[in-house]
């Protein structure tokens, strides 16, 4: 995403969307050191969970596109996202927030923890 920062006006909305791959999860694991088992080993359904801060890189891309230096960011992760899921991030100028939404391949789902503590979902 690139923007002409001089043409940005109040009310403009920026939207980014990305589907992260298992290779990107592994690369981020190496860079960040966030090597929890759920980021390294696929779950019972063969899925590799994304690191929360990997998904947050979409939000940082907004600021980078207009040379904005953020002094603080806050994230709330409502459910896990997995390699192959599409993540969408949107921000509106003059509104102090960025929303990141998980678009699950099968629509909405219910999240549960199994007996081993793994996060699972059911459509």
Predicted confidence (pLDDT) per residue in 78-97, tens digit: 888 999 998 888 777 654 54
CATH 3.40.50.300 fits 13-122, yes or no: no
What pLDDT is stored for residue 119 in this prediction? 63
Token digits for 13?
């909305």
SS3 25: helix
Predicted confidence (pLDDT) per residue in 62-74, tens digit: 777 777 767 677 7
Give me the residues of the chain with pLDDT under 70, please. Answer: 1-6, 69, 71, 93-113, 117-123
Using alpha carbons, list the distances in angstroms from residue 70 to 74, 78, 96: 11, 23, 11
**What is the Cα Rg of the chain in Å?**
16
């Amino acid at each position: 995403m690139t923007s002409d920062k001089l043409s940005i006006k109040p009310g403009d909305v920026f939207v980014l969307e990305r589907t992260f791959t298992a290779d990107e999860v592994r690369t981020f694991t190496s860079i960040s050191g966030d090597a929890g088992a759920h980021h390294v080993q696929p779950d019972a359904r063969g899925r590799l969970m994304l690191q929360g801060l990997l998904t947050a890189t979409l939000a940082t891309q907004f600021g980078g596109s207009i040379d904005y230096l953020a002094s603080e960011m806050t994230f709330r992760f409502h459910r896990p996202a997995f390699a192959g899921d599409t993540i969408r991030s949107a921000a509106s100028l003059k509104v102090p927030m960025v929303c990141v939404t998980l678009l699950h391949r099968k629509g909405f789902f219910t999240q549960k923890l199994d007996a081993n503590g793994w996060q699972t979902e059911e459509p």
